[in-house]
Amino acid sequence: MGDTVGKSANGTATNSNDHLIHSEDPLHPANHICTLCAKFYTLGWVTGTGGGTSIRHGEHIYIAPSGVQKELMRPTDMFVMDFNTKEYLRRPDVHKPSACTPLFLAAFTRGAGCCIHTHSQWAVLVTLLVERDFGRDACFEIEEIEQIKGIPKGKGKLGNLGYYDRLKIPIIENTAHEEDLTGSLEKAMEKHPDTFAVLVRRHGIYVWGDNVHKAKTQCESLDYIFQLAVEMKKLGLPWTT
């Protein structure tokens, strides 16, 4: 590695290490995060610079920056962090790091390869409906919907949930500052060790998976289920039998 990493006084890397974000491979994390975020924009998940996506690539964590239009991102917008030292290897001068970073790291620490954060309106509505109808401590629970089979049984367990399994997604309360969610997110992960997602009340959802394919598939499946659940409520149909 011919590049030198210049460190500033506060320990963050300066804007060299551009080789980390240049690749011809569309599946390289620096490129992949851009195409994923553009797709997520059309799904309404990252409207108004909301939401974010992060990919672990060996010991490097690639993270979309804060406050950028997610459908217009380019590889040069990307932050790259060393997973072991938690120091930035690349840090674009014009951007702020994502406040989601400690939440993404919580997922990577538990073995995830990709973590997606959306502001999906269906996720937000589901957190409000659960609070009103089942109380503040309740999880979102639904059963006997085929798409549940898109969610894995749990870390280290083989295969996905079955049609007759009940899907349970924990919900944590929102905080004034996104990084302050980290503690309760980690607690929810510990209390619900099989979950690959945590809803955040009045905010959205964090979904992670072993790799990009799994995280995206699980995020899509959950969003499908949340939208269905909201429509079911409008029609007076119960979530569980």
Give the binding site for a copy of itself (CB under 8 A). 44, 47-50, 67, 69, 119, 121, 124-125, 128-129, 132, 144-147, 150, 162-164, 174-176, 200, 202-204, 213, 216-218, 220-221, 223-224, 227-228, 230-235, 237
Measured from the CB of residue 130, what is the shortest distance to a copy of itself in angstroms? 11
Nearer to a copy of itself, 39 or 60 (CB): 39
Nearer to a copy of itself, 158 or 235 (CB): 235
Nearer to a copy of itself, 29 or 80 (CB): 29
Measured from the CB of residue 87, what is the shortest distance to a copy of itself in angstroms? 26
Identify whether the C-beta of residue 137 lies closer than 8 Å to the C-beta of residue 159: no
Give the distance from CA 240 to its chain's centroid: 26
Kind of pairing, strands 60-63 and 88-90?
unpaired
Q: In 3D, which of 87, 94, 98 has the Cα closest to residue 5? A: 87
Identify whether the C-beta of residue 106 lies closer than 8 Å to the C-beta of residue 77: no
Q: Fill in the amino acid letter for 178.
A: E
Identify whether the C-beta of residue 114 lies closer than 8 Å to the C-beta of residue 52: no
Write phi, then psi, for 116 (nearest 5 degrees): -120, 135
Identify whether the C-beta of residue 105 lies closer than 8 Å to the C-beta of residue 86: yes
Nearer to a copy of itself, 17 or 221 (CB): 221
Measured from the CB of residue 90, what is the shortest distance to a copy of itself in angstroms? 22
Question: Residue 159: which residues within 8 A CB-CB, separation 6 or more?
Answer: 152, 153
Q: Which of 24, 87, 144, 146 is catalytic?
A: 146
DSSP designation for 138? P
Residue 146 is a catalytic residue: yes
Measured from the CB of residue 164, what is the shortest distance to a copy of itself in angstroms? 6
| Distance between CA atoms of residues 26 and 240, nearest Å | 41
Nearer to a copy of itself, 16 or 49 (CB): 49
Per DSSP, the three-state class of 63 is strand
Q: Fill in the amino acid letter for 122.
A: W
Residues annotated catalytic, as ranges: 146
